[in-house]
Amino acid sequence: MNLAAGLKRLMLGPEETEIPALKRNDRCWCNSGKKYKACHQAEDDRKRSAQRATAAKQPAGSLKRGF
């Protein structure tokens, strides 16, 4: 990691992990043995909609803290 990347990570915080794309009837990514629709689908859908809402509010090409 170079100095610029280290400073950027320090200023902006850790990157969020991407939510895996699963179909409703696949086994859940958490290895619970349940189907995705009965385990984490609702929570993941809320996270995706929140990410879309924050992305829509920011102007294209801008970063959070002026890098």
What tens digit of pLDDT does each residue of 25-45 get?
999 989 999 999 999 999 989
Look at residue 66 in the predicted model and tell me its pLDDT. 52
Please state, rounded to an integer, the average pLDDT across all residues of the chain.
79
- Cα-based distances in Å from 24 to 19, 27, 65: 14, 8, 37
- Tell whether 25 is covered by a domain: yes
Q: What is the mean pLDDT of residues 8-30?
A: 78
Percent of residues, the chain, with pLDDT higher than 90: 25
In a domain, 6, yes or no: no
What pLDDT does residue 12 have?
A: 75
Q: Please give the residue range of the domain that contains residue 29.
A: 17-57
Q: How many domains does the chain have?
A: 1
Predicted pLDDT of residue 61: 56
Residue 9 lies in a domain: no
